[in-house]
Homo-oligomer: A and B are copies of this chain.
């Protein structure tokens, strides 16, 4: 069993209205020393490896077809083996 963590972020240059809203909310809280707030998604799941396909191939397929929008978003992921007794 593999634990996969996927991070999806907006590409540089893509407007991030959610990040801007957070910056404004922080200013309203008197926090004025934050800049460049960017909001993305974080997903984690367990993957049972399938024969004939590498984990990288599978996760890349999922990220490109469903978990991210490749036009405006980048993704990266980490995998770790889970040892179940």
Interface residues of A (CB under 8 A from B): 7-9, 19, 22, 25-26, 29, 31, 33-50, 58, 61-62, 65-67
Contact = CB atoms under 8 A, between A and B. Distances in A.
B36 A39 contact: no
Contacts of A42: 7-9, 39-42
Contacts of A58: 31, 33
Tally of this chain's copies: 2
Nearest to A3: B36
A33 B45 contact: no
A80 to B, nearest CB: 14
15 contacts: A7-B42, A9-B42, A19-B45, A22-B66, A29-B62, A29-B65, A33-B50, A33-B58, A34-B45, A34-B46, A35-B45, A35-B46, A36-B45, A37-B43, A40-B44
